[in-house]
A and B are shown apart, each in its own frame.
Chain A
C-alpha cells in the first residue's frame, strides 16, 4: 500500500468500500445475539432487519464476505469484540 497524500478524490470510488476486511465470525454462544446484530449494523451499515437476518445466518454471511473481499484483503475484524483491523492493511 503506497503512502501519500490524496489531492483528488475520484467520485466513482467509494472510499469506505475500499477499505476491505475479512470478517471472522467467531461462533461463540456467549455473545448476545443482539450484540452481534449491533456490530453488523455499526460496522457494515446494515439495517436492523438485514443485520438480524445475517446474525441468524452467520456461516453463510462469512462466505458472502469472503467472496466479496478475500482477493484483495488482509485486514480483519474480530466479531467477538467488534473491532476492526483495517490498520493491518498497511503492514501487508
Chain B
C-alpha cells in the first residue's frame, strides 16, 4: 500500500495494487450510478432547463448518500429549495466528472504490465499511475466524495447538530474492536484508506 508521491520531474504518481485499484473502480462505479439516477427523467421533463443546468426538482434527495453530497444550503426550506434548483444539477455533473476521471484512469490501465520496483514479491500486481496535473483537484474532490459516501454507510456524522461533537477516536475504536467477519469492518478499512490516500495527495500538492 502506498500513497501519492511527487516524481523528480514534478509529476504526481501513485503506485497502486490491482486489488486497491479494483476497490476504487468499484466504488467510483457505484457513485456514478447513484449520481446518474433520474438523469433521463430530468432531461425529459424540461430539456431546455436541463441544458442551462436548472433542475425541476428542488427537493432533498431520497438517498442518504445523495443527501450528504447535496446538503440543504439554508436553514429554511424555501431558500434551500431555490438554491438546489439552480445548483444541484451542475454540482452533480461535476461530481460525476470527478468520479469518472478516477474510474477511467484506473480502468485504462488494463492488466498491470509495468511492475515497478520488482525486487520484492509485494510489488507484484501493482502499477504506477501518473496523475494528469490538470486532474489533481478532480482526484481530490472525487476521493472526498467517496469518503462522504462511505461515511453515510458507516453512520459517521450525518447529523448537522451532532457533527461538532463527533468523536472520531471513539468511532475508530469501535471499528477496530469489530470482528473481522463483520462486513462493516471492511467498509471502515476502505474509508480509512481513502482518507489516508487523500491526505497523501494533499501533502504532495499543498502550496507551502
Are the chains A and B members of one assembly? yes
Q: How large is the interface on B (under 10, 10 to 19, 20 to 34, 35 or more residues)?
A: 35 or more
Bound state CA distance, A32 and B91, in angstroms?
20
6 A-B pairs with least C-beta separation: A29-B157, A30-B151, A29-B166, A34-B202, A29-B163, A27-B163
B207 at the interface (CB under 8 A from A): yes
Q: Determine if B168 and A29 form an interchain contact, defined as CB atoms under 8 angstroms apart.
A: yes
Most chain B CB within 10 A, of A28, A34, A42, is at: A28
**Given A30-B156, A81-B91, A88-B86, A24-B206 contact (CB < 8 Å):** no
Q: How far is the CB of B41 from chain A (nearest CB, A)?
A: 22
Q: How far is the CB of B87 from chain A (nearest CB, A)?
A: 6
Residues of B within 8 A of A (CB): 52, 54, 68-69, 71, 73, 83, 86-87, 90-91, 94-95, 137, 140-141, 144-145, 147-148, 151, 156-157, 160, 163-164, 166, 168, 195, 198-199, 202-203, 205-208
A44 at the interface (CB under 8 A from B): no
**Given A27-B163, A32-B202, A35-B202, A80-B90 contact (CB < 8 Å):** no
In the complex, chain A residues whose CB is within 8 Å of the CB of B91: 78, 81, 83, 85
Q: Determine if B206 and A34 form an interchain contact, defined as CB atoms under 8 angstroms apart.
A: yes
